Amino acid sequence: MDTKNIDRRSFLRAGAASVAAVTLAGCSTSQEKKEIADFSQEALGEVPTDGMVYRAPESLGGDKVSLLGYGCMRWPWAPDDNGEKKTLDQEEINALVDYAIEHGVNYFDTAPKYLKGLSEEATGIALARHPRESYYLATKLSNYAKDDTLQEGKDMLMRSLKRLQTTYIDYMLCHNIASAASFKKRFIDNGLLEWLMQQREKGVIRHLGFSFHGDQEGWDLLMEYHEKVHWDFVQIQMNYVDWEHPSEEQVIAKNLFNDLAQRNIPVIIMEPLLGGGLSKLPDFLAQKLMERKPSSSIASWAFRFCGSFPQVLTVLSGMTYLDHLQDNLRTYNRFEALSEDEFKLLDEVAKIYSSYPTIPCTNCTYCMPCPYGLDIPGIFAHYNKCVNEGMVVSSKADPEYRKARRAFLVGYDRAVPSVRQANHCITCALCMTKCPQKINIPKRMGEIDAFVEKLKQGLEL
Mean pLDDT, range 399-418, rounded to an integer? 90
CB 212 within 8 A of CB 219: yes
Band (270; pLDDT cuts 50, 70, 90): very high
Give pLDDT, residue 105: 98
Question: Domain spanning 8-354 has what CATH number?
Answer: 3.20.20.100
Mean pLDDT, range 271-289, rounded to an integer? 91
3-state helix, strand, coil in the chain (%, to 5): 50, 10, 40
Give pLDDT, residue 41: 40
pLDDT tens profile 356-365: 778 878 888 8
SS3 of 308, please? coil
Q: Residue 122 above 80 pLDDT?
A: yes
**CA nearest to 345, candidates 303, 308, 305, 398:** 305
**CATH 3.20.20.100 domain span(s) along the chain:** 8-354
Band (45; pLDDT cuts 50, 70, 90): low
Q: Residue 181 above 60 pLDDT?
A: yes
* Burial of 21 from C-beta contacts in 10 A (0-12 / 13-18 / 19+): exposed
pLDDT tens profile 305-354: 999 999 999 999 999 999 999 999 999 998 999 999 999 999 999 998 88
Q: Half-sphere exposure (CA, 13 Å, Cβ side) for 447?
A: 12
Please report the beta strands in 156-279, taking only residues with DSSP state E, as ranges in sequence order. 169-177, 205-212, 233-237, 267-270
Q: Which helix (H) or strand (E) holds 54?
A: strand 54-55
pLDDT tens profile 411-453: 999 999 999 999 999 889 889 878 877 788 988 898 898 889 9
**CA quadruple 82, 85, 89, 90: dihedral positive or negative?**
negative
Mean pLDDT, range 184-207, rounded to an integer? 97
pLDDT tens profile 353-387: 888 778 878 888 888 889 889 999 999 889 888 88
Q: How much is the mean pLDDT over the chain?
A: 87
Paired with 55 in beta bridges are 65
Parallel, antiparallel or unpaired: strands 68-71 and 312-317 = parallel
Band (36; pLDDT cuts 50, 70, 90): very low
As a whole number of angstroms, the distance between CA 376 and CA 224 comes to 35
CB 313 within 8 A of CB 63: no
